[in-house]
Structure 1
Amino acid sequence: MKFATWTKPDGRVESGVVSDDGLHAFSDGMTVLDAVKLGVAEAITLGTQTASTSRPVPIADVRLRPPLVPPAVRDFAAFEEHVLGALQSVTNRTEVPPEWYEAPAFYFTNPHALIGAFDDVPVPPGCEVLDFELEVAAVVTGTGASVSTDAAAELLFGYTIFNDWSARDIQAREMVVGLGPTKSKDSSSTLGPWLVTRDELEHRLDDAGFLALECSVSVNGDPIGADLLSNMAWTFPELVAHASRGTVVRSGDVLGSGTCGNGGSLAELWGVRGDDALPPLAIGDIVEMTVEGLGTIRNRVVPGPANTAAPPARRRIPPLPRKHAERQQTRT
């Protein structure tokens, strides 16, 4: 079953299920996150009832929003091919660090910056090298802490397409600091077009537990990259289990797969082929991504807000005198 959230022409936001006839809204203002909290079986029952009792709205008549508002968004780097190419491009490293193979790495990105499947994406302030990232995201149902991989499989509600838009020039500067990407990643991330429950894709699981889904991306109609989701280094249950280690994952948490290889981002191609392989995204470019069983997202690049960068840091090496601090300590 597919769950979606949309804005009607009158500005009302609704959530519900997707059928061949269109979109069927939940009653009583229920959200997709509410449905996710029910678990897969109960959500499907609710969706079936909703589709049979709610009058459909044509998809063409609404603006699709991100399927849900997640409590947290973790984005992994689970494709070795992408990691190698992107590192070469962004940091000039020529090999994948051995630490990458030891455990799935991720960073937290901005749940407030999600945009819909067909929304425009503004260029981040100060960015001159904009890139896309072709990913699939899993959504958690229930609560789990330090769960096993087997238990984590039961915490998977479903999947959606995820495009982690990246300001590569800003990222290159940030990575030198050693804290990972921050402002280079938090301006926009596309999530959509809907959330597909895991049962619809179980027939595409291979013997090792990987989802063998075809993924592709184009810019202005020109094919750029294509990969199989099953080329991930870890399965989604393994990613959920790792995310829960020593902490908690909750209903609605989004876990990105990381960017597919074989042209899932421009940065990978820049690293492998050289900087002149393809230009960065420009105003007016249309990026389209399709994942088998999940649908298609399509976003146009538009001008963004003016850059209001933070001022340079005040230097404090050598340290300032500490007499004031010592007096304060004596008084207390």
Structure 2
Amino acid sequence: MRWVTYHCPPAGSRAGLVIGDRVHLLPDTVSVLELLGDDGERLHAAGERATSDPADVVAFSRDRIGPPLRPPSIRESVGFLEHVRNTSPAGTINENFTRFPPFYFSNPTAVTGPYTDIAVFPGSRQFDYELEVGAIIGRPASDVRPEDAHCHIAGYVLFCDWSARDLQLREMGLGLGPAKGKDGANTLGPYFVTPDELEPWRSGESYRLEMSARVNGERTSQGRLDSMDWTFGDMIAYASRGTTLQPGDMIGSGTVPSGCLLESYIQHPDTFHGWLKPADVVCLEVQGLGATCQTILPGRNPHPLRTAGRPEPAWNQHARKSAATAQHGQDD
């Protein structure tokens, strides 16, 4: 099944099942996220209802398509080690990348639809896309074994992890982050696709899905999902250690090799065409998962920050001295 979220004014957004070039809407305002949480029975029943007794059947319209769902959390993992090598000036990686699939938490409130314009993050001059796939958790997963993780995946989405490389570099140089370098936008969609739809492309524990990107019509990325070093099973097993992944949580695959401008900047600086700029049109596509197409907008100017090294306020000096005096009295 291929599900979308379709905006139906004035009622709001509805989950819809895509059949051919038409969208079969469910007869209420239930979301795709609300169809998750079990072994797939609820999603299957909704699919049958949308097929046999839809509330309406409408044309697929870019103007009405939003993100297929809004994950409660986003864990952005590192599944492709070649991408890490390609973005390292020395071409080497920390050996810990081969011991476990690291991840960071991204911003679920910044999720956008597949055709939404994207503004450059404030203060950035090195704006970039990242071509990925996201696995959506269907039922709670805690301390899962890698070989059992597929039972917890309800479906997959095309995922773009927008990145301000200059902001990211400054943050990660402090041993923190990425934070503002990744905070402004995460694109999902257009479809939420159940695993059975991808079986024709099955390749071991992954799928032979071609992945590509174009900027202003020129191909800038080309890769395949089954070139992953860490599988989604490994990622889910690691992410679920000592905690519980909830229905709708998303695990990002990490960037497919060649799937961002940073790799070209590092690997081919003499022929690098430049970072994303306003009016650029970025189109990503993953076989079986659909395509996105988004225009880059100018970013807002950030408000200047005060300097952290300014003199200590008098009230804070007084409080610190009072605490020190009290501690001294206790010691006596």
Q: TM-score, normalised to structure 2's length?
A: 0.91
- Paired residue total: 325
2:34 maps to amino acid: D
Match of 1:298 in 2: 293
2:252 to 256, 259, 262: 256
2:211 maps to amino acid: C
Contact 2:26–2:49 (Cα < 8 Å) also in 1:
no
Deviations 1:90-136 (A, max 9, x none): xxx54111111111011000000011001100111001110010000
Task: State the 1:87 CA deviation.
Answer: 3.2
Task: State the 1:186 CA deviation.
Answer: 1.0
Match of 2:194 in 1: 197
1:271 maps to amino acid: I
Match of 1:42 in 2: 42
Match of 2:119 in 1: 122
Runs of 5+ unmatched residues, structure 1: none
Q: Is the aligned partner of 1:148 residue 2:145? A: yes
- Taking the aligned partners of 1:42 and 1:13, their CA distance within structure 2 comes to 19
Let me know the Cα RMSD of the aligned residues.
2.3
Task: State the 1:52 CA deviation.
Answer: 2.0
1:278 maps to amino acid: H
1:216 maps to amino acid: S
1:212 to 195, 208, 211: 208
2:181 to 181, 184, 202: 184
SS at match of 1:201: helix
Contact 2:135–2:232 (Cα < 8 Å) also in 1:
yes
The structure with the larger Rg is: 2
Contact 1:149–1:240 (Cα < 8 Å) also in 2:
yes
- Taking the aligned partners of 2:194 and 2:40, their CA distance within structure 1 comes to 7
SS at match of 1:230: helix
Q: Is the aligned partner of 1:102 residue 2:99? A: yes
1:326 maps to amino acid: A
Runs of 5+ unmatched residues, structure 2: none
The verdict on how the C-alpha distance between 1:185 and 1:11 changes in structure 2, with shifts beyond 3 A counting, is farther
Q: Is the aligned partner of 1:24 residue 2:28? A: no
Task: State the 1:225 CA deviation.
Answer: 1.1
Q: TM-score, normalised to structure 1's length?
A: 0.91
Contact 2:123–2:299 (Cα < 8 Å) also in 1:
no
Match of 1:268 in 2: 263
Match of 1:326 in 2: 324
Task: State the 1:60 CA deviation.
Answer: 1.9
Task: State the 1:330 CA deviation.
Answer: 7.5
The verdict on how the C-alpha distance between 1:275 and 1:5 changes in structure 2, with shifts beyond 3 A counting, is farther
The verdict on how the C-alpha distance between 1:329 and 1:32 changes in structure 2, with shifts beyond 3 A counting, is farther
The verdict on how the C-alpha distance between 1:82 and 1:325 changes in structure 2, with shifts beyond 3 A counting, is same
SS at match of 1:28: coil
1:33 maps to amino acid: L
1:237 maps to amino acid: G
Deviations 1:47-80 (A, max 9, x none): 1211221121211274211111111001112112
Contact 1:136–1:160 (Cα < 8 Å) also in 2:
yes
Deviations 1:212-271 (A, max 9, x none): 11101110110111111011111111111111011110100011100010x200001111
2:81 maps to amino acid: E
Match of 1:65 in 2: 66
Contact 1:8–1:61 (Cα < 8 Å) also in 2:
no
1:206 maps to amino acid: S
- Taking the aligned partners of 1:79 and 1:39, their CA distance within structure 2 comes to 29
1:281 maps to amino acid: L
Contact 2:14–2:25 (Cα < 8 Å) also in 1:
yes
Contact 1:73–1:253 (Cα < 8 Å) also in 2:
yes
